[in-house]
A and B are shown apart, each in its own frame.
Chain A
Amino acid sequence: MAKTYQRPQALSEEHTHYCPGCTHGVIHRLIAEVIDELGIRGRTVGIAPVGCAVLAYNYFTFDFQEAAHGRAPAMATGIKRVRPDLIVFTYQGDGDLASIGMGEIIHAANRGEKFTTIFVNNAVYGMTGGQMAPTTMPNQRTTTSPLGRDVGQCGMPIKMAELLSSLMTPGYITRQTVIRPKYIVKAKKAIRAAFTYQMENRCFSFVELVSTCPTNWGMTPLEAVKWAEEVMLPYYRLGDFKTPV
């Protein structure tokens, strides 16, 4: 029952700039643990987004590139095509992936580019101060939807895992969450599966992670966990939407 726990090697010693209770920290840690366990730190290249995780490269101890907003899947494509032996992952938030980057992620997934995308879905634009995202829930108040998301004007939130799994190209498409330990354990398994598929050169892999943003939701970290559970999880269903045959 007793276990030891240490900081993974793939994670740097830097104190992160993320807010208290921000689940970016959990996700960074899981990625680093998986990279350590799979022994791939020496041939991994991460691609940081524009968003709160723009400084993600400060927190990992392996090669990293910084992408323009939304373009990480195109950069990942460039790397994988010229260096298929490198393990490449993009790390993207709601705006980066589901708004400006929508074209890039769909086409990379459809071409079956063999990199991994970690998609942090916290239903809001964090870094720029809490604006509405394509993943913002109906009636959710944000700085650009002060009266709540009006689905008549803005449509319903986009379910990226479902959208990408509708493509005919094989892939590993899953949605997990990191809001409670029991889910975190499953999320890590999914991240590990994704990287393993890439090591086997099998397919495109996509791990959507329902996450919290206490600061921009105007809640404490614990309240944010509860809101995510009550409001996001019924809509953003957890599970594997596509696995490669």
Chain B
Amino acid sequence: MRRNGGKALSQKVLMKGNEAIGEAAIRAGCLNYFAYPITPQSEIAEYLSRRMPEVGGVFLQGESEVAVSYMMFGAAACGARIFTTSSSPGISLMSEGISYIAGAQCPAVFVNIMRGGPGLGGILPSQADYFQATKGGGHGDYRLLVMAPASVQEAVEMVMQAFPLAEKYRNPVMILGDGLIGQMMEPVQFPDHLKTEPSNKDDWATNGMDTRKSTKRNLVKTLYLDPDALNQHNLTLKAKYDRMKQQEVRYRPYNLDSEYRVLIVSYGTMSRVCRTAIDNLKEEGFEAGMIRPQTLFPFPEKAIDEAASKPSCKRVFSIEMSMGQMVEDVERSVRGKRPVLFYGKCGGEVPTPEEIMDVVRSGNHSA
């Protein structure tokens, strides 16, 4: 079907998002992939089924997303770099496993190429898993470090950054993409400097006492029957999430130097449409600015608060391909200083720049 036959991709190449994501993991030094097919991301598994053997890596199609999430857990717990990809309903199935992996403090990378929901939903892009990724999905007090790329190049970079981040925090990291990013082809360059060596995991991984040359065994578990022990454990986890909030917030401002009347908050594919809308509005003499969160957890609360506080700014719009999920975090960030409105659409039809321009000019938001 495609390509380069696995030769060095050090120049710019035109690549389908899904395949670039698969290649990015390999470039990051992750040679283990377990997955289950689901539209619109099956191409990642198809690409890696050929590519992993080429680089001496492990590829396994599991029997279900549930099984895959636990293959991830077993492999992560014995110290290997591991990643998987899926789409919304599959991520629901993996959510229990994600809770376990977070509770056990193992590093792992998950990629969600979002599609319409709920239930079987549709196969076109959506951004309706924001709550699932940032607020839970699985049970218990855990958080994921969530990154949202807005281009194939950014997806590649975020995938490569995800592995050292997962190891730094001993926590799962999620890349929240969507069907458009997965399916479209864009120029990509794989940044060698983002390749990192796996961290030393002998402190905690069940990689065999002989491997560690130790007589002390390691135990990976999530059960803490003693209430005090479980409380302590949760405090340990929370401390990590607080550190993430301090150190890992990333976002991109757009047109914030202008005297913008409206602040848009938008991520991923949707943000690209908003950028075009902002550019078009500027030509008409209407200034709008945007904050594009690159991390959805931790959320750029401070940046949004500051941007909304600009005297010229009259209102804030959260624009998403959903019925309104990130808008709640935007409201929380703005803290009542400005009205926060929402515009969005489900079903997979991406709103056009003209639609956004209308909404922003008139303030006609979704209910």
Contacts and interface: CB of A to CB of B under 8 A. Distances in A.
Tell whether any CB of A sits under 8 Å from a CB of B in the complex. Answer: yes
Interface of A: 41-45, 47-48, 54, 57, 60-68, 71-72, 74-79, 81-83, 85-86, 103-104, 107
Contacts of A85: 208
Contact of A77 (B60, B66, B80, B100): B60
Interface string B60-71: 101110111111
B219 A81 contact: no
A106 B74 CA distance: 18
Interface stretch (B209-217, B247-255, B307-315): B209-217
A42 B208 contact: yes
A42 B206 contact: no
25 contacts: A42-B210, A43-B208, A57-B219, A63-B78, A63-B209, A63-B218, A64-B219, A65-B78, A65-B206, A66-B219, A68-B96, A71-B73, A71-B97, A74-B66, A76-B74, A77-B67, A77-B71, A77-B74, A78-B82, A79-B75, A81-B34, A81-B71, A83-B207, A86-B208, A107-B62
A78 B208 contact: no
Contacts of A44: 208
The list of the 10 closest CB pairs from A to B, nearest first, reads A78-B74, A75-B74, A42-B210, A74-B70, A78-B75, A78-B71, A63-B206, A66-B221, A71-B70, A82-B80
A65 B96 contact: no
Contact of A63 (B73, B217, B222): B217
Most buried by A among B58, B71, B73, B100: B71
B206 A64 contact: yes
Contacts of B211: 43
B218 A68 contact: no
Nearest to B209: A42
Contact of A78 (B63, B72, B104, B217): B72
Contacts of A76: 74
A63 B210 CA distance: 10
B206 A71 contact: no
Contact of B207 (A41, A48, A63, A64): A63
Given A77-B74, A81-B32, 13 more contacts: A43-B208, A44-B208, A63-B206, A65-B220, A66-B222, A71-B67, A71-B97, A74-B66, A75-B74, A78-B74, A82-B78, A103-B67, A107-B63
A213 to B, nearest CB: 21
A41 B220 CA distance: 17
Nearest to B64: A103
Most buried by B among A48, A68, A78: A78
Q: For chain B, which range describes its interface: under 10, 10 to 19, 20 to 34, or 35 or more residues?
A: 35 or more
Contacts of A72: 70
Contacts of B67: 71, 74, 77, 103-104, 107
B217 A83 contact: no
Nearest to B99: A68
Interface in B81-124: 82, 96-97, 100, 104
B26 interface: no
Contacts of B34: 78, 81
B223 interface: yes
A74 B84 CA distance: 14
Nearest to A84: B58
B77 interface: yes
Nearest to B220: A65
Given A63-B207, A63-B208, A107-B67, A79 B74 contact: yes
Contacts of B64: 103
Contact of A65 (B58, B72, B80, B221): B221
A54 B218 CA distance: 16
Given A62-B209, A63-B207, A74 B68 contact: yes
A57 B221 contact: yes
B10 to A, nearest CB: 28
Given A63-B218, A83-B207, A83-B208, A68 B97 contact: yes
Interface string B266-286: 000000000000000000000
Contacts of B71: 74-75, 77-78, 81
B64 to A, nearest CB: 6
Contacts of B77: 65, 75, 79
Contacts of A60: 217
Nearest to A107: B63
Contact of B74 (A42, A74, A103): A74
Most buried by A among B66, B74, B220: B74
Nearest to A60: B217
